[in-house]
Amino acid sequence: MKNVILARLSTIPVPGQRMDLARSGMITERDISIDGDRVVVSVNVPDGYAADLAELKALIEAKLEGLDGIGTLLVVMTAERAAPPAPEAPKLKKRPTEAPGPDMRPQSAAIPGIRTIIAVASGKGGVGKSTTAVNLALGLRSLGLKTGLLDADIYGPSLPRLMNIAARPEIENDRVLPIEQYGLKTMSMGFLMEEDNPVIWRGPMVVSALMQMTREVDWGALDVLVLDMPPGTGDAQLTMAQQVPLQGAVIVSTPQDLALIDARKGLKMFKNVDVPIFGIIENMSAFVCPHCGETSHIFGHGGAEEDARRLGVPFLGAIPLHMAIRETSDAGTPVMVTDPDGPHAQAYRKIALTIATRLFPETDED
Ligand code: ADP
């Protein structure tokens, strides 16, 4: 099948070069991922590529559409041209909040239909970032906001598991339709690939896949899109923070010192690209014993709160380490859904309210 696809692609000449797409190395066998009748083709666009990317994408789609064995086709352009060189960009322009303004980066223009976007980030993996993002998104929704959730962790997408989604997204008029679950519009690379057959992404591909998931998904009208960032503070995360028009970011951290050191890197990353930091959420804060109800501060106490104060960023709240959160999260039935009036849901909703107040200060009259 991959050979058939490559053969088709070898009929597309690369503008300005005496080569076709397959021979140019822009698409190799490794860049084609097949899962049943779903095919993802990643095009590795070189730095100096001067021609129109949308045109190239359309050409590829036209060549492959209707090919036997292809049900759903996703062509991911992996151009990084629009991004400023990440590590060497110490001071970047402010991102637009309402109108795009004179910002020269075309990628960071506002996305039609989406009023605000916030990133949920962490300095490292395993701190409960995705669980927090899911419950916060549900919390925002419970406040009456039209909310979307984009799982941008394309290395280890967890949304299918956390939201119990096994469906595959439909594609309509070249746009991917988000999957609705628990009242949220959701999208994840995990919807398009097999869990045990992960795609190997190269740095620039990550960013471009994210851009497509942000811009080519038919989100409709959203008050807020919650972006569950990949863990860590590497180049991919930095470029995302630059290219997506973020209104703000929240950092999820556990109380351990190490995590806090990592969390600081997260803060710095957003500060460097002028994204306002709404605050730090301390996750897995205190342990509440499910049997006796006693609270134990296994990882110490107040670390994140003190740290936030020291760093001059708001402390948004603490979420306890609780069996109910782990069980519901891993079962795909978030605690905001299973126990919306319980103490955990209340903790998430309280943080969601603080975030909503930052996002929509003018409409937050009680
Ligand atoms: P990350 O996105 O940071 O990698 P996850 O959200 O996948 O982290 O969480 C990692 C694990 O920790 C999961 O098993 C999840 O259910 C669990 N978890 C997250 N937050 C809590 C919490 N507050 N209490 C108990 N378990 C939690």
Q: 21-30, 36-45, 255-264: lowest mean pLDDT where?
A: 255-264
Mean pLDDT for 340-346 is 94
Q: 38-47, 104-113, 288-297, 327-336: lowest mean pLDDT where?
A: 104-113
Local confidence band at 196 (pLDDT 50, 70, 90 cut-offs):
low
Q: What pLDDT does residue 131 have?
A: 97
Answer yes or no: do 181 and 119 share one domain. yes
Q: 82-86, 320-324, 337-341: lowest mean pLDDT where?
A: 82-86
CATH code of the domain covering residue 43: 3.30.300.130
Sign of CA dihedral 59, 65, 70, 73: positive
Q: What pLDDT does residue 259 have?
A: 63
Answer yes or no: do 145 and 23 share one domain. no
Counting from 1 in the atom list of ligand 1, the atom nearest the Cα of 133 is: 6
Q: What pLDDT does residue 198 have?
A: 53
The pTM score is: 0.73
Answer yes or no: do 124 and 261 share one domain. yes
319 lines ligand 1 (CB under 6 A): yes
Is 103 within a domain?
A: no
Q: What pLDDT does residue 82 have?
A: 37
Answer yes or no: do 249 and 354 share one domain. yes
Answer yes or no: do 69 and 138 share one domain. no
Between CA 215 and CA 278 the distance in angstroms is 24
Answer yes or no: do 208 and 65 share one domain. no
Q: What pLDDT does residue 83 have?
A: 35
Answer yes or no: do 288 and 187 share one domain. yes
Between CA 38 and CA 20 the distance in angstroms is 24
Q: From atom 17 of ligand 1, which residue's Cα is the shortest distance away?
A: 326
Percent of the chain at pLDDT exceeding 70 = 82
Higher pLDDT, 325 or 260: 325
Burial of 18 (C-beta count, 10 Å sphere; 0-12/13-18/19+): exposed
Between CA 302 and CA 297 the distance in angstroms is 9
Q: From atom 15 of ligand 1, which residue's Cα is the shortest distance away?
A: 326
Is 122 within a domain?
A: yes
Tell me how far the alpha carbon of residue 233 lies from the centroid of ligand 1, in angstroms: 19
Is 305 within a domain?
A: yes
Is residue 196 within 8 A of residue 103, CB to CB? The reply is no
Does the pLDDT at position 51 exceed 80?
A: no
Tell me how far the alpha carbon of residue 94 lies from the centroid of ligand 1, in angstroms: 33
Answer yes or no: do 179 and 63 share one domain. no
Is 97 within a domain?
A: no
347 lines ligand 1 (CB under 6 A): no
Local confidence band at 86 (pLDDT 50, 70, 90 cut-offs):
very low
Pocket test for ligand 1, best of 130, 131, 336 (most atoms within 8 A of CB): 131
Answer yes or no: do 175 and 29 share one domain. no
Q: From atom 12 of ligand 1, which residue's Cα is the shortest distance away?
A: 128
Is 99 within a domain?
A: no
Mean pLDDT for 280-297 is 84
Tell me how far the alpha carbon of residue 62 lies from the centroid of ligand 1, in angstroms: 42
Between CA 214 and CA 221 the distance in angstroms is 13
Answer yes or no: do 19 and 146 share one domain. no
Answer yes or no: do 160 and 305 share one domain. yes
Is residue 20 within 8 A of residue 14, CB to CB? The reply is yes
Local confidence band at 68 (pLDDT 50, 70, 90 cut-offs):
confident
Tell me how far the alpha carbon of residue 72 lies from the centroid of ligand 1, in angstroms: 32
Is 106 within a domain?
A: no
Is 108 within a domain?
A: no
Does the pLDDT at position 95 exceed 50?
A: no
List, for residues 106-158, the tens digit of each pLDDT value.
345 678 899 999 999 998 888 899 999 999 999 999 999 999 999 988 777 89
Domain boundary among 19, 49, 77: 77
Answer yes or no: do 121 and 24 share one domain. no
Is 86 within a domain?
A: no
Domain region containing 38: 2-77
Q: 15-19, 25-29, 265-269: lowest mean pLDDT where?
A: 15-19
Q: How many domains does the chain contain in total?
A: 2
Tell me how far the alpha carbon of residue 213 lies from the centroid of ligand 1, in angstroms: 24
Between CA 352 and CA 171 the distance in angstroms is 31
Domain boundary among 77, 97, 123: 77
Domain boundary among 31, 49, 77: 77
List, for residues 229-288, the tens digit of each pLDDT value.
988 888 778 878 888 889 999 999 888 765 667 778 888 889 888 899 999 999 988 887
205 lines ligand 1 (CB under 6 A): no
Q: What pLDDT does residue 174 have?
A: 75
Tell me how far the alpha carbon of residue 120 lies from the centroid of ligand 1, in angstroms: 14
CATH code of the domain covering residue 162: 3.40.50.300
Q: 16-20, 113-117, 328-332: lowest mean pLDDT where?
A: 16-20
